[in-house]
Amino acid sequence: MESHIAIFPSPGMGHLIPLTELARRLLAHRQLLITFIIPTAVGAPIKPQNDILNAMSESITSIFLPPVSLNDIPEDSSLETRISLTLTRSLPALHNTLTELTHESTRKKPLALVVDLFGPPSFEVANELNIPAYIFCTVSAMSLVSIFQLPILDKMFTCEYRDLVEPVKLPGCVPVQGTDMAEPFQDKKNEAYKNMVEVAKMFGLSKGLLVNSFYELEPGAFKALEEGEWCKPDIYPVGPLIRSGLENRTGDGFECLKWLDNHPARSVLFVSFGSGGTLSQQQFNELAFGLEQSGQRFIWVIKSPHGNSNASYFSAQSNMDPFEFLPDGFLGRVKDRGLVVSLWAPQVEILSHGSTGGFLTHCGWNSILESIVNGVPMIAWPLFAEQKMNAVLLTDSLIVAYRVKVDEKGLVGRDEIDKSVRSLIKGEDGRKMRSKMSELKDFGTKALSQDGSSSRSLLSVAQKWVE
């Protein structure tokens, strides 16, 4: 009977996808049974998650917990608060499910419970059932350092981080301006901040931390995590784990790839703000005019504008046609060099295509890793969560991205967009970034090779579970 691992992801595709890739990699190293236990909120779409899980190996099964209600919390509650409450309100159902799995005759009791960043409150359930708990970090090692440092920083600074004159110095990392600290850190009176401080204290209670990054990408941060007295658990760099490219290259989405076939090498900018990112109508217009003004080729994945930058994270997509929000005549003016697609495009395939020369991204960690694996330099346009900190890593430490500048109205203007696109696709800075990205791509490939640093790290933790 194979060894059994349970995985309890936070809500959101950005958490589920890297955990499914972790599951695939584990199966490549060891014969295991893996059960995904999925928390959901009432009204949240589950089909995208179901589609991904159903396409996986027979050794991977999934259980959706009963949806919990969030109707009693204010509508303006932060994204992080909604994620945390979905998880904590699902803990009784998690307890019941793990108990049932423990007593099933068809499989062994789970040897480990793997959770992600918001999952430490589930440690109490794991401890009660005597199941070792591990954290899989769906963020950079730099962001992980900031989480471990948060309780220390909370005592060190009484003011808001955004009001600090000097940058925050995180062990092993480039300095970070207070305004670039993760969004949940930015309001100490908010419930999301208080919850993050408490969850950060729980990180030390895990048996180990698997990090979706690789040592060669963030050596300073990993060294700080391994040597710092403030980080008790063992650290396992296991990345870069990214979603697999789809084999069925048909349908509307793959028209993008046919379109790319007709353009020169490294000449096209891919523009996407991920599954959760949205722009205001005014910012949507500025981006359209900036892309038009640049004269460069592009593929732009559009969603209906919204005043909240993470509007599409938890809810289903708007029923409104996003093409209706484009400036009059825009499509006609860019038809020979621009392709605009609605809601979704095959991102991994686009980034791996030879015609793609740059990626304008919201700086979600999954998207960054996908860009690194394919050697594509970036334009950093962070929106929410820890994305500003990721932008700092890309621009100040790795030097593989140009970060757009926001004006006094909170907008990225068309001239700024024009300048950054030209610089990345045609300029000398873009050429240097592309060369550096090529090096990082090679390091990432080596890390995942049979005897690479990440493969050895994952094998060691899998061996620990089995033994």
What CATH number has the domain bearing residue 340? 3.40.50.2000
Among 4, 15, 263, 353, the one annotated catalytic: 15
CA distances from 247 to 126, 128, 347 (A): 37, 42, 13
| Known active-site residue 4 | no
Please indicate, yes or no, whether residues 347 and 235 belong to a single structural domain of this protein.
no
DSSP assignment of 55-111: TS-TTEEEEEPPPBP-TTS-TT--HHHHHHHHHHTTHHHHHHHHHHHHH-SSSPPPS
Q: What is the pTM of this model?
A: 0.93
DSSP assignment of 267-312: -EEEEE-TTT----HHHHHHHHHHHHHH--EEEEEE----SSTTTT
Please indicate, yes or no, whether residues 275 and 188 belong to a single structural domain of this protein.
no
Residue 178 belongs to a domain: yes
Q: How many domains does the chain have?
A: 2
Please indicate, yes or no, whether residues 265 and 216 belong to a single structural domain of this protein.
no
Please indicate, yes or no, whether residues 291 and 436 belong to a single structural domain of this protein.
yes
- Taken as a whole, the chain contains a residue count of 467
Please indicate, yes or no, whether residues 434 and 419 belong to a single structural domain of this protein.
yes
User: By residue range, what is the domain housing residue 365?
Assistant: 252-444
Query: What pLDDT, on the 0 to 100 scale, is given for residue 316?
Result: 45
* Six token digits for residue 321: 């046609």
Alpha helices in 157-302, H assignment, sequence order: 191-202, 219-227, 255-261, 281-294
Rounded (5°) CA angle 275-281-284: 65
**Separation of alpha carbons 207 and 132, rounded Å:** 6
Residue 186 belongs to a domain: yes
Q: Which of 441, 306, 292, 313 is nearest to 385 (CA)?
A: 313
At 236, which helix (H) or strand (E)? strand 234-237
Please indicate, yes or no, whether residues 187 and 213 belong to a single structural domain of this protein.
yes
**Separation of alpha carbons 65 and 41, rounded Å:** 9
Contact 424, 400 (CB under 8 A): no
Return per-residue pLDDT of the chain as tens, 467 residues: 688 999 999 988 888 999 999 999 999 888 899 999 999 999 888 888 888 899 899 999 999 999 999 999 998 888 888 999 999 999 999 999 999 988 876 667 899 999 999 999 999 999 999 999 999 999 999 999 999 999 999 999 999 999 999 999 999 999 999 999 999 999 999 988 998 999 999 999 999 999 999 999 999 999 999 999 999 999 999 999 998 775 445 555 678 999 999 999 999 999 999 877 899 999 999 999 999 999 999 999 999 998 776 555 555 445 689 999 999 999 999 999 999 999 889 999 999 999 999 999 999 999 999 999 999 999 999 999 999 999 999 999 999 999 999 999 999 999 999 999 999 999 999 999 999 999 999 999 999 999 999 999 999 999 999 87
Query: What pLDDT, on the 0 to 100 scale, is given for residue 310?
Result: 56
Residue 265 belongs to a domain: yes
Residue 247 belongs to a domain: no
| Known active-site residue 116 | yes
Residue 124 belongs to a domain: yes
Residue 245 belongs to a domain: no
Please indicate, yes or no, whether residues 60 and 74 belong to a single structural domain of this protein.
yes
Please indicate, yes or no, whether residues 39 and 117 belong to a single structural domain of this protein.
yes
Contacts of 345 (CB under 8 A, 6+ apart): 253, 256, 270, 272, 299, 301
Please indicate, yes or no, whether residues 99 and 166 belong to a single structural domain of this protein.
yes
Residue 244 belongs to a domain: no
Q: What radius of gyration, in Å, describes the C-alpha atoms of the chain?
A: 22
Distance of alpha carbon 144 from the chain centroid:
13
Please indicate, yes or no, whether residues 227 and 270 belong to a single structural domain of this protein.
no
Please indicate, yes or no, whether residues 234 and 321 belong to a single structural domain of this protein.
no
Largest CA distance in the chain: 65
Please indicate, yes or no, whether residues 170 and 317 belong to a single structural domain of this protein.
no
Residue 296 belongs to a domain: yes
Contacts of 36 (CB under 8 A, 6+ apart): 7, 9, 16, 19, 20, 23, 53, 60, 61, 62, 63
